Amino acid sequence: MDKQLERVYEAVIARNPGEAEFHQAVREVLESLGPVIQRHPEYLEMKMLERICEPERQIIFRVPWMDDKGEVHINRGFRVEFNSALGPYKGGLRFHPSVYLGVVKFLGFEQIFKNALTGLPIGGGKGGSDFDPRGKSDAEVMRFCQSFMTELYRHLGEYTDVPAGDIGVGGREIGYMFGQYKRITNRYESGVLTGKGIGWGGSLVRTEATGYGTVVFAEEMLKTRGESFDGKRVMVSGSGNVAIYAAEKAAQLGATVVGFSDSSGYVVDEAGIDLDLLKQIKEIERGRVSDYVDRRSSAKLGTAGSIWDVPVDVALPCATQNELNGEQAATLVKNGVKVVAEGANMPTTPDGVHIFQDAGVLFAPGKAANAGGVATSALEMQQNASRDSWSFEYTEERLTDIMQNIHEQCATTAESYDRPGDYVLGANIAGFDRVAKAIQAFGLV
């Protein structure tokens, strides 16, 4: 890393102690920006890097709620409104026991560049809570969401901050939070939350968007080598919203998706996964991967090693951060992987990324490859603002165009800095440049 950028990074660590995920996300971006500051030394003079690395606002609050037995619980809520240079803060809410300020800041920081790459007028933010919705009744989840929104609502608005879902926050949770927002404000402000139900302001394709977009981006990468998904073996980690619909789109394009996972283990299904069964277990029954194996004779439950031990042509890590390490990356390379596209946020560790790049594997970082979700959230905001509702086909066409444009931006930017095929550098520089120019235009604010 450039010495001047190293000093910026050291200052970030000093100002944000103990936030390992945030440190990792900042370093990954700064390592790409050396060529930029050589071309634009004014960015250093204006302290542009320091300004982008410091959130505009960080909100932490108490969330008290009562379970079905009458016991009181206290969780912690977060919203980091990171950067609004391009539009209102936009980014999901994550409900998971691992959530703390460092995770929220890492996600919000990534969101700045991801949202910039979409070309849409949205800034970067993220939020959530250390609440675990797994195993809770609908009534318990409702009471938690209502308590969470009772504090958060005062910081939101369709021109200020527009959350969506993330891990642990799906249509059920968005519904409860939107209901509470509407109750408190006495306003049917559809554009204040995205990921809503279709019947009350949601957008078609939003459920599928992140997974579909990841596969569209990976397909564009394959095209640069004269290939496609047709006939490829694909592995998808995770079994949530992103993983399910990445698998669906890959199958539509002619691939055979041979596995998926959750926190309890992984499944290998050499016959190709049964998407209808997977959706039934995960989206309706909220079950585990073992339930799939119990009902599918061709499926086997992984009990040793890793999901990444299985030889595939395309790997789509769609679960959570730092799930694919250097050793696993080396195994994928040894087994002939051609493309890795991140459906989750920062699922590959830095050493894993370097192994893929050194081996000539086409590697797409999450801030580019998984931008389809937030892009379609912005399309949902457009529909809400115009009191309109678009067809599935038209919305998917818009999503596909956005993802293809993101790929073009990343590829063109990498080439312009003499690093053809380096999608990490291309995504970081393209996103940074758009945000930095907006910040520069606004003056010192």
What local confidence, expressed as pLDDT, does residue 106 receive? 97
Task: Examine domains 3-187 and 208-360 and report if their fold is the same.
Answer: yes
- The annotated binding site for substrate is made up of 90, 111, 114, 165, 377
Distance (Å, whole) CA 314 – CA 336: 9
Q: Give the burial string for 62-75 (b: 16+ CB within 10 Å, else e).
A: ebebeeeeeeeeeb
What local confidence, expressed as pLDDT, does residue 303 receive? 76
Contacts of 285 (CB under 8 A, 6+ apart): 291
Task: For CA atoms 141, 145, 148, 150, give the dihedral sign.
Answer: negative
pTM of the model: 0.94
Indicate if the pLDDT at residue 65 is higher than 90.
yes
In the predicted model, what is the mean pLDDT of residues 39-44? 93
What local confidence, expressed as pLDDT, does residue 35 receive? 95
What local confidence, expressed as pLDDT, does residue 234 receive? 98
Q: What CATH number does the domain located at 208-360 have?
A: 3.40.50.720
In the predicted model, what is the mean pLDDT of residues 259-278? 94
Q: What is the pLDDT of residues 398-414, one digit of tens each?
A: 999 999 999 999 999 99
Which residue, among 427, 263, 238, 273, has the nearest Cα to 343 in the 3D structure? Answer: 238
In the predicted model, what is the mean pLDDT of residues 62-77? 98
Residue type present at position 46? M
Alpha-carbon Rg for the chain in angstroms? 21
* Residue 372 pLDDT level (bands cut at 50, 70, 90): very high
Distance (Å, whole) CA 131 – CA 435: 32
Residue 331, judged by CB atoms within 10 A of its CB (0-12, 13-18, 19+), counts as middle
What local confidence, expressed as pLDDT, does residue 146 receive? 98
* Owner of token pair 């004269």: 226
- The annotated binding site for NAD(+) is made up of 210, 241
What local confidence, expressed as pLDDT, does residue 340 receive? 98
What local confidence, expressed as pLDDT, does residue 264 receive? 85
User: What is the average pLDDT value for the chain, to the nearest integer?
Assistant: 96
In the predicted model, what is the mean pLDDT of residues 384-410? 97
In the predicted model, what is the mean pLDDT of residues 217-233? 97
Torsion angle of the four alpha carbons 438, 367, 170, 285, in this order, in degrees rounded to the nearest 10: 170
Residue percentage of the chain with pLDDT more than 90: 96
Q: Give the burial string for 99-137 (b: 16+ CB within 10 Å, else e).
A: bbbbbbbbbbbbbbbbbbbbbbebbbbbbbbbbebeebe
What local confidence, expressed as pLDDT, does residue 2 receive? 86
Contacts of 205 (CB under 8 A, 6+ apart): 212, 376, 379, 392, 395, 396, 399
Q: Is 3.40.50.10860 the CATH classification of the domain at 3-187?
A: yes
Strand ranges in 114-258 using DSSP code E only, listed in sequence order? 123-129, 161-165, 233-237, 256-257
In the predicted model, what is the mean pLDDT of residues 64-79? 98
Q: What is the pLDDT of residues 122-133, one digit of tens each?
A: 999 999 999 999
* Catalytic positions, written as ranges: 126
Indicate if the pLDDT at residue 422 is higher than 90.
yes
- The annotated binding site is made up of 90, 111, 114, 165, 210, 241, 377
Distance (Å, whole) CA 329 – CA 334: 9
Domain definitions of the chain by residue range? 3-187, 208-360
Q: Are 84 and 438 in contact (CB under 8 A)?
A: no
In the predicted model, what is the mean pLDDT of residues 346-351? 96
What local confidence, expressed as pLDDT, does residue 263 receive? 84
Q: What is the pLDDT of residues 101-150, one digit of tens each?
A: 999 999 999 999 999 999 999 999 999 999 999 999 999 999 999 999 99
Other Cβ atoms within 10 Å of 321 Cβ, number: 22
What local confidence, expressed as pLDDT, does residue 1 receive? 79
Written as six digits, the tokens of 18 are: 């103990």
Other Cβ atoms within 10 Å of 18 Cβ, number: 10
* Residue 30 pLDDT level (bands cut at 50, 70, 90): very high
What local confidence, expressed as pLDDT, does residue 219 receive? 98
Indicate if the pLDDT at residue 327 is higher than 90.
yes
Residue 282, judged by CB atoms within 10 A of its CB (0-12, 13-18, 19+), counts as buried
